[in-house]
Amino acid sequence: MTNALYIGSTHPSAGKNTLALGLALSLRQQNISCAWMKPLGSLPVPHAESAEKLMEDEDTLFMREALNLGAESVPPSSLLLTQDLNMKAVGKGLEDPLPGLRASVEALFQSHDLTMLCGAGSLEAGEIFNFSALRIIRELNLKLLLLDRATRQVHLDRILFIRELLGDAMLGVVLNAVPHTLTEDVESRVKPFLESRGIPVLGTIPHDPLLSSLQVSQIMDHLSAHLLTTAGKTTRMVENFLIGTMQVENFMAHYRRTPKAAVIVGGDRADVQMVAIEGGSSCLILTGNFYPGDIILSRADALEIPILVTRDDTFTAARKVEALFTRNKLRDPAKVTQGAHLVSAHLDFQALRRALDI
């Protein structure tokens, strides 16, 4: 299928929906109609508009809303990972979901200029059901657009390995969330290397702190934390986090390089807490169920710095916050707009259209 594209990634949480959304919105401006589907639904949630309380994939519901399309253009997943599905797969087995997917994709293919299929996690997800991305791409004769989140490094081994598995079915790679410290190396070394191995680099999307940021309220809910101050500021955005276990002088050096950070610190470390408050931290997360003194509380109130208190120890709280940042989803309207803009500005649309014949 020349006008059907599978968007996969080297690792989970690479930004596949951001890429698909930006691609669809940009092509719409060129009068090219797009459909979207997630074959393997990994985020089952109740469908609010369903009288039968049916479950659908959260990403599917989001994409319908973001693209303002109905189920005829953004259909349900062929296979939804409900609680007992894994046990069925390793027990009696499941009916092959591929024929149903094929029928759905062919219907979309007939009525849209481009049909995008989006992976769940990495390419091997669904192998237990014989429904991995590799099988879907091969059986349906799709082209793969591979996304690599290059926040710390470009995962060259994985990219080359996937190319070896799929050959010419791999259309190219998009490098996402590239920090400015890696930009020069990516342009001068990584791109020429990949292209010398037959892998076109179809886009280099720079890191944008907004897309990976969280609201204070999201962190509060995730930690089951108690809010002590400035309830109205829980919509404040957090772009990173710091752990305040070090000496205050060392902490100050790290803090200056990390704006809009949440500071995770023991409730008994008033010195670090005050530095974070005076420095305009996005929020303080006090661990061990320790409550701060009146001076800290009054100063945080004056500067409108939210303070959260959690029962978790500092290590556990940091691990939970890190996990939340890793799987942070594109849901906020400002993120949708910014994500679409970045894709539009940094994706090689001409090369992609030529390869897909659209």
Cα–Cα distance for residue pair 45/324, rounded to 1 Å: 18
Give the pLDDT score at 48. Answer: 65
Range of the domain at 237: 214-326
d(CA 91, CA 290) in angstroms, rounded, equals: 48
Q: Distance of alpha carbon 17 from its chain centroid, rounded?
A: 7
Q: Is the same domain home to 161 and 276?
A: no
Same domain, 281 and 138: no
For the chain, 358 residues long, the average pLDDT of each consecutive 10-residue run is: 87 92 94 96 78 80 94 94 76 84 94 94 89 95 96 94 96 95 95 97 92 89 91 83 79 73 89 88 92 92 93 93 79 83 94 89
Pair 29, 132 in one domain: yes
The number of domains in the chain is 2
Cβ contact 118:23 at 8 Å = no
pLDDT recorded at residue 308: 95
pLDDT at position 51 is 55
Secondary structure of 201-250 in HEC code, one letter for each residue:
EEEEEECCHHHHCEEHHHHHHHHCCEECCCHHHCCCEECEEEECCCCHHH
193 with 252, same domain: the answer is no
Domain shared by 230 and 105, yes or no: no
Euclidean distance between CA atoms 243 and 317, whole angstroms: 10
Q: Note whether 54 and 152 are same-domain residues.
A: yes
Supply the pLDDT for residue 81.
Answer: 86
Within this chain, do residues 12 and 138 fall inside the same structural domain, yes or no?
yes
Q: In the prediction, which pLDDT does 102 show?
A: 95
Tokens representing 260? 């809009």
The pLDDT value given to residue 52: 59
pLDDT of residue 47: 72
Residues 238 and 130 occupy one common structural domain = no
Residue 211 buriedness (CB in 10 A; 0-12 / 13-18 / 19+)? buried
